[in-house]
């Protein structure tokens, strides 16, 4: 069997067109330009690249973005003060604080300083809590509106747009980070999947992976998950972004995995291109909520 | 094999003595009496019983409690106003809003109105979010201090006090309520268990249960989980409180289960007696945090 490739690049393209239309409609209706503020402390190269991508993406969608940078030596107080200023700024709909923050900075306190209504990256505990508490799909949510981190939101979007049935399926999420693994698990649970969360302490990880109808990898270890860890026909979502000899690869060994899986996201070209698009959707959503639309 | 009975009643007794000592120490040190305010809207019989138990338990521990009741016809505004008053009351350390609230009341809004620092029942989304985001045990928590709902906290306490190894074990939680199932799953994950969350849509639930080293039941269906759903030697934590012909029983069929399990909580006398004790610990903890102790 050769797996169907879940083409995140093509899907992101489709969604960018939808995003353009949504931005245009919002601007026409409200006379307001959806705006994201990005906060970067220091000059971490990956962060510099990512903030550049966000600004480019926003511009192409007709959205506004503002990059606020602080030096590597910025104090906790200075970072929190900048976040507070952006919270209060009526013209800013979404705020994203880039990680990593410099050593010695209390990341939890910075995240908690964000207005939950502008936390388009879904890192504030109140947004994580609403995701944890939300009722399953098909029932009233029972929580206030919230934001989900863009990367797992993109993974779920791929599953949905490709029509993958989640209800009653066994989803295994490998990795328990706050930005991918845990929120992905909560999203799949909300979709009525039975969800198993694995991590570095899991006993016999290959055996657990082999029980998955939907296997999500978010561990940050190049090609760790081999073809023989996968149940034939399973759907594999690879969130890994690793580099081996300068070449990007995922947490899944694509070569062997695609011979076994039913569907699989490649790296590059799978979940990666979706992240940016989902972040922008969150910004429009934040602008809509503020406008009461 | 006949399972070791995990005696929640005896453990609760031990912990009540510890609680007495902690209350005494706190009062001596700070000259303050840890105080819980309970809010009840209407006269749901189970709620009336439970608030009575809380008041009795608090009194016996040397703690203060105040029961605030509103009529079944109370408006959303009146309930939220009462919560706001208690949030502002310097003499109140913990607040518990009893469920169910009358039909038509927005429970999420009432929970969100609680001060997270006084939310000793762990129902506020920011407390659920910190539990979802907290780092595994043994690492810096990376979140602000938080409160965990008393029932799952009691279940975990039983496991720990009986010395059950959790790290690397497969824990299966049946039920995904916000007050038991989901927080229990998060607690077990934090303890480095591999965690599976099951629910009404799970396919072949008995088979999934049979993979559990630690099986937690929180579904509210009398004796649903039979002995042949249990892996020989597994540890079973039963959160169920059901009544059959006026007799209390759990979600697990104790009679057949105890022939297979290695350890099991009975109902009554297992997780039930722990809930109240854990709630009181949360009240002392709230008082300590306020006192900066």
State whether B262 and B188 are in the same domain.
Answer: yes
State whether B111 and B163 are in the same domain.
Answer: no
State whether B216 and B268 are in the same domain.
Answer: yes
CB atoms within 10 A of CB A188: 28
Does B77 score more than 90 pLDDT? yes
pLDDT at residue A293 in the model: 74
Does A156 score more than 90 pLDDT? yes
Chain A residues close to B186, C-beta within 8 Å: 132
pLDDT (average), residues A109-132: 97
Domain boundary residue among A95, A115, A135? A115
pLDDT (average), residues B92-117: 96
Quick check: helix, strand or coil at residue B221?
coil
* Minimal-distance CA residue of chain A relative to B172: A196
Task: Tell how strand B170-174 and strand A170-174 pair up.
Answer: unpaired
Contact A35, A91 (CB under 8 A): yes
Report yes or no on A105 lying in a domain.
Answer: yes
Contact B287, B35 (CB under 8 A): yes
State whether A109 and A186 are in the same domain.
Answer: no
Domain boundary residue among B115, B140, B163? B115
- Distance between A247 CA and the closest CA of chain B, angstroms: 31
Report yes or no on B168 lying in a domain.
Answer: yes
pLDDT at residue B17 in the model: 97
Report yes or no on A95 lying in a domain.
Answer: yes
Does A55 score more than 90 pLDDT? yes
State whether B108 and B189 are in the same domain.
Answer: no
State whether A103 and A158 are in the same domain.
Answer: no
Sign of torsion over alpha carbons B104, B105, B107, B113:
positive
- Distance between B130 CA and the closest CA of chain A, angstroms: 6
Smallest Cβ distance to B108: which of A108, A144, A195? Answer: A144
pLDDT at residue B131 in the model: 98
State whether A89 and A165 are in the same domain.
Answer: no
Helix axes B150-161, B181-190, angle to 10 degrees: 40
Does A18 score more than 70 pLDDT? yes
Among B106, B123, B125, the residue to mutate for chain A (most A Cβ within 10 A): B125
B199 and A194 within 8 Å at the Cβ level: the answer is yes
pTM beyond cutoff 0.90:
yes
Please state, in angstroms and as integers, the Cα–Cα distance from residue A206 to each residue in A177, A211, B197, following that order.
20, 9, 19
Does B1 score more than 80 pLDDT? no
Among A106, A110, A125, A179, the residue to mutate for chain B (most B Cβ within 10 A): A125
pLDDT (average), residues B51-55: 95
Tens-place pLDDT, residues A22-40: 999 999 999 999 999 999 9
Report yes or no on A131 lying in a domain.
Answer: no
CATH, residue B177: 3.40.50.720
pLDDT (average), residues B159-164: 98
Report yes or no on A124 lying in a domain.
Answer: no
- Distance between B33 CA and the closest CA of chain A, angstroms: 30
Report yes or no on B13 lying in a domain.
Answer: no
For chains A and B, CB pairs below 8 A equal: 120
pLDDT at residue B293 in the model: 74
pLDDT at residue B267 in the model: 98
State whether B109 and B166 are in the same domain.
Answer: no
pLDDT at residue B6 in the model: 98
Report yes or no on A245 lying in a domain.
Answer: yes
Angstrom distance (rounded) from CA A154 to CA A92: 23
Does A275 score more than 70 pLDDT? yes
- Distance between A35 CA and the closest CA of chain B, angstroms: 26
Tens-place pLDDT, residues B30-45: 999 999 999 999 999 9
Domain that holds residue B168: 150-273
State whether A169 and A269 are in the same domain.
Answer: yes
A203 and B144 within 8 Å at the Cβ level: the answer is no
pLDDT at residue B9 in the model: 98
Among B113, B133, B144, the residue to mutate for chain A (most A Cβ within 10 A): B133
Does B92 score more than 70 pLDDT? yes
Burial class (CB in 10 A: 0-12, 13-18, 19+), A117: buried
Smallest Cβ distance to A202: which of B107, B127, B168? Answer: B168
A125 and B144 within 8 Å at the Cβ level: the answer is yes
Tens-place pLDDT, residues A59-83: 999 999 999 999 999 999 999 999 9
A199 and B203 within 8 Å at the Cβ level: the answer is no
State whether A159 and A269 are in the same domain.
Answer: yes
Phi, then psi, of B194 in degrees rounded to 5: -85, 125
CATH, residue A84: 3.40.50.10860
* Minimal-distance CA residue of chain B relative to A179: B133
pLDDT at residue A1 in the model: 67
* Minimal-distance CA residue of chain B relative to A126: B126
pLDDT (average), residues B224-228: 98
Report yes or no on A177 lying in a domain.
Answer: yes
**What does DSSP assign to residue B270?**
S
pLDDT (average), residues A220-229: 98
Total domains present in chain B: 2
State whether B194 and B242 are in the same domain.
Answer: yes
State whether B173 and B255 are in the same domain.
Answer: yes
């Amino acid at each position: 069997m050769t797996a169907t490739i879940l083409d995140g690049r093509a899907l992101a393209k489709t969604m960018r067109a939808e995003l353009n239309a949504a931005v245009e409609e919002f601007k026409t209706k409200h006379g307001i330009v959806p705006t994201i503020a990005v906060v970067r402390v220091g000059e971490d190269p990956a962060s510099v690249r990512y903030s550049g991508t966000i600004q480019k993406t926003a511009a192409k969608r007709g959205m506004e973005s503002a990059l606020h940078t602080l030096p590597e030596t910025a104090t906790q107080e200075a970072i929190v003060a900048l976040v507070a200023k952006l919270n209060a700024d009526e013209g800013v709909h979404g705020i994203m604080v880039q990680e990593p923050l410099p050593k010695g900075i209390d990341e939890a306190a910075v995240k908690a300083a964000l207005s939950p209504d502008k936390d388009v990256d879904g890192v504030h505990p109140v947004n994580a809590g609403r995701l944890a508490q939300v009722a399953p799909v098909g029932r009233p949510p029972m929580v206030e509106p919230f934001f989900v981190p863009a990367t797992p939101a993109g993974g779920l979007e791929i599953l949905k747009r490709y029509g993958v049935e989640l209800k009653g399926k066994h989803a295994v999420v490998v990795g328990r980070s706050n930005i991918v693994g845990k929120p992905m698990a909560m999203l799949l649970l909300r979709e009525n999947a039975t969800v198993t969360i694995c991590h570095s302490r899991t006993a016999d990880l290959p055996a657990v992976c082999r029980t998955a109808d939907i296997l999500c990898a978010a561990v940050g270890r190049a090609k760790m998950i081999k073809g023989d860890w996968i149940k034939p026909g399973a759907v594999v979502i690879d969130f890994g972004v690793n580099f081996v000899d300068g070449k990007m690869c995922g947490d899944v060994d694509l070569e062997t995995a695609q011979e076994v899986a039913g569907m699989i996201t490649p790296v590059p070209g799978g979940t990666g291109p979706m992240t940016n698009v989902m972040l922008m959707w969150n910004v429009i959503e934040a602008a809509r909520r503020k406008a009461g639309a």
